[in-house]
Amino acid sequence: MTTATPPINNTQLSVNVTTKSQEQSLYQSSGAIVAAIVVGVIIIFTVVLLILKTYNRHMRVKRELEPKPSKTAMAPTVGQGSHSLCQPPTVTFIPVDIHMHNR
């Protein structure tokens, strides 16, 4: 007496295997896409920072090399009643860490 073994459904088994491998490949490819996007954003951010740093250095050098306006050209003429404009207002700054002692 031999017992009959139930036939194995090979088509269902192969569908499950292919579905698993497709899901796995989708997860791996989505991880690779996310990693590529992150690396691309970092590269773009670095390029923008380098461009801004170069522009800032260029503008600072340009400002330092420009001739400064002379004070004689900006002095008001005498006799027009603009005596208060000759001296700019001054601000006295006393540092906090210097204490004045009363004796």
Q: Mind listing the pLDDT tens digit for each residue in 23-78?
A: 888 888 899 999 999 999 999 999 999 999 999 999 999 998 888 876 655 555 55
Place of tokens 């989505």: 30
3 domain residue, yes or no: no
82, 76 Cβ separation under 8 angstroms: yes
Distances (CA, A) of 31 to 27, 34, 35, 44, 79: 6, 5, 6, 20, 79
Total-model pTM = 0.43
- For residues 79 and 29, the model is more confident at 29
51 domain residue, yes or no: yes
56 domain residue, yes or no: yes
Domain count, the chain: 1
Task: Tell me what pLDDT residue 66 has.
Answer: 85
Task: Tell me what pLDDT residue 21 has.
Answer: 84
Q: Find the range with the poorest average confidence among 7-11, 20-24, 29-33, 85-89.
A: 7-11
